[in-house]
Amino acid sequence: MSDDTAQLWLVERSYDDRDLIVLIYATTDGEYELRKELAAAVMHQRRMATTAAIEAPTENLEPVTDDDLRERYAAEATKMSESHEPGDEV
């Protein structure tokens, strides 16, 4: 991780009623998250893979303010980082 980017790990994947796939990536300490909303049809058409981790500019990250959520994200991100390589499709 450089000063400008951070590595985040997939901690949650869900679908909403607008046919969007919602991916949430977080830092291993659970302090920061990045939420991505992608149209399911576009993901399937373009055969976009969901990877275990991503690199993202730190300016795009949001702080996780809920203590329980921060703890859960930290646990999930750590588990992903210990069991997957960043580029693994999950």
Domain ranges of the chain: 5-83
Name the residue among 11, 14, 36, 38 with its Cα closest to residue 26: 11
Q: Using one digit for the tens of pLDDT, what is the confidence trace for 10-47?
A: 999 998 888 899 999 999 999 999 999 988 877 777 77
Mean pLDDT value across the chain = 92
pLDDT digits (tens, 9 = 90+) for 43-89: 777 777 899 999 999 999 999 999 999 999 999 999 999 999 999 99
> Count of alpha carbons within 13 Å of 13, Cβ hemisphere only?
12
Q: Which residues in 42-65 are b (16+ Cβ under 10 Å) and which e?
A: eeeeeeeebbbbbebeeeebeebe
Predicted model pTM: 0.89
What is the reported pLDDT for 1?
44
Is residue 31 within 8 A of residue 11, CB to CB? The reply is no
